């Protein structure tokens, strides 16, 4: 009797129909050519270049760092809507859309664009009210979509090899140069943080204090160079003179990293190596690769000759 009752009840229960969420909008990501993000006048733009890579700003700007960009264009090709909230709203202010927090313009290769207005969060904070410009309907989409767009604005996805060192944060410098067949020579500079002074290691590896004006001359050589991407992850780097670089520059930086959840300030330590290869054909630049931490970033870029030779000149007397 029990078995018959269970069978009868199960036969009456209809399987739950899963309704897939509708698309808020949908385009082929291969058709997207530009992305513009505007938050009350604070703007960011990304453009697809002729090299089929995305660039910050116009198509000749810095290429985006792939570690931060993977999936962004796919995300922009169309988020799925949680639900249609209001087909014909009479008051957009209740959704934060009378004065949107964020405006996103997705430019297409055919010259058209899609303009998306981002309003406030839903009461549970899990979704965001959105609207396509010049339409009536108000939808909600997962709030993580808006957060990704906001991060692109607040923290542009610059490539990892980009030199963004502030000389005030430098605490160590090591320079190695020479011919691999004849042996390398090196020099090291260290900042004594307690005494707030700089020292270098002499021939007998004993620290020698450097006068402030002399060290300022060395540090000034580390101002930001002009960088231009030469090749994305080339298979070999011998053609750039980077298998046995003529000079390797190591830089360590330290900066305070205040965490709101921590009572004490932490020190963020970063280490970089710049492998200097051959001069370019015109002689105006050098080929370079960057190491961050323990790995080499495969992309090859160029820096202006004045930057490389400025470091050589400022440190020359310490090699003698």
Q: What is the pLDDT of residue 19?
A: 44
Which own/partner contact pairs does 89-96 have at CB distance under 8 Å and 24+ positions apart?
Answer: 89/136, 89/138, 92/119, 92/131, 92/138, 95/119, 95/120, 95/129, 95/131, 95/138, 96/120, 96/129
pLDDT tens profile 29-45: 888 899 999 998 899 99
Task: Specify whether the CB–CB gap between 286 and 277 falls below 8 A.
Answer: yes
Give the H/E segment covering residue 6.
Answer: helix 2-12
- The pTM is what? 0.79
For residues 176 and 183, give the distance between their C-alpha atoms in angstroms, rounded to a whole number.
10
Helix (H, G, I), strand (E, B) or coil at 76: helix
CATH code assigned to 29-154: 2.60.40
For residues 191 and 198, give the distance between their C-alpha atoms in angstroms, rounded to a whole number.
4
CATH code assigned to 167-319: 2.60.40
**Residue ranges covered by each domain of the chain:** 29-154, 167-319
Of 305, 306, 300, 298, residue with least CA distance to 279 = 305
Q: What is the pLDDT of residue 12?
A: 40
Q: What is the pLDDT of residue 21?
A: 55
pLDDT in tens, the chain (320 residues): 444 433 333 444 444 444 455 667 777 888 889 999 999 889 999 999 998 999 999 999 999 998 888 878 777 877 766 688 888 888 999 999 999 989 999 999 998 888 999 999 999 888 999 998 888 899 888 888 889 889 999 999 999 999 989 999 999 999 998 776 666 788 899 998 888 889 988 667 788 889 999 999 999 999 999 999 999 999 989 999 999 898 999 999 998 766 555 555 678 889 999 999 999 999 999 999 999 877 889 999 999 999 999 999 999 888 76
Q: What is the pLDDT of residue 71?
A: 79
For residues 221 and 225, give the distance between their C-alpha atoms in angstroms, rounded to a whole number.
9
């Amino acid at each position: 009797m029990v078995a018959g009752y269970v069978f009868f009840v199960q036969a009456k229960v209809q399987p739950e129909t899963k309704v897939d969420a509708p698309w808020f909008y949908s385009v082929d990501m291969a058709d997207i050519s530009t992305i513009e993000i505007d938050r009350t006048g604070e703007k960011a733009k990304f453009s697809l270049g002729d090299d089929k890579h995305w660039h910050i700003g116009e198509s000749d700007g810095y290429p985006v760092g792939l570690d931060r960009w993977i999936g962004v264009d796919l995300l922009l090709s169309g988020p799925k809507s949680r639900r249609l909230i209001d087909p014909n709203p009479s008051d957009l202010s209740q959704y934060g859309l009378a004065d949107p927090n964020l405006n996103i313009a997705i430019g297409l290769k055919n010259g058209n664009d899609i303009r998306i207005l981002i309003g406030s969060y839903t009461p549970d904070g899990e979704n965001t009210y959105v609207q396509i410009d010049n339409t009536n309907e108000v939808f909600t989409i997962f709030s993580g979509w808006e957060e990704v767009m906001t991060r692109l604005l607040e923290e542009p996805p610059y490539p990892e090899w980009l030199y963004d060192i502030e000389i005030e944060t430098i605490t160590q410098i090591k320079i190695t140069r020479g011919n691999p067949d004849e042996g390398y020579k090196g020099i090291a500079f260290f900042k004594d943080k307690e005494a707030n002074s700089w020292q270098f290691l002499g021939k007998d590896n004993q620290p020698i204090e450097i006068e402030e004006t002399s060290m300022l001359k060395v540090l000034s050589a580390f101002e930001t160079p002009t960088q231009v991407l030469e090749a994305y992850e080339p298979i070999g780097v011998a053609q750039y003179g980077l298998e046995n670089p003529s000079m390797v520059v190591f830089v360590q930086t330290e900066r305070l990293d205040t965490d709101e959840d921590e009572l004490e300030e932490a020190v963020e330590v970063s280490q970089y190596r710049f492998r200097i290869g051959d001069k370019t054909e015109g002689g105006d630049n050098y080929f370079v690769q960057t190491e961050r931490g323990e790995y080499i970033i495969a992309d090859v870029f160029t820096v202006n000759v004045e930057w490389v030779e400025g470091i050589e000149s400022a440190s020359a007397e310490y090699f003698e």
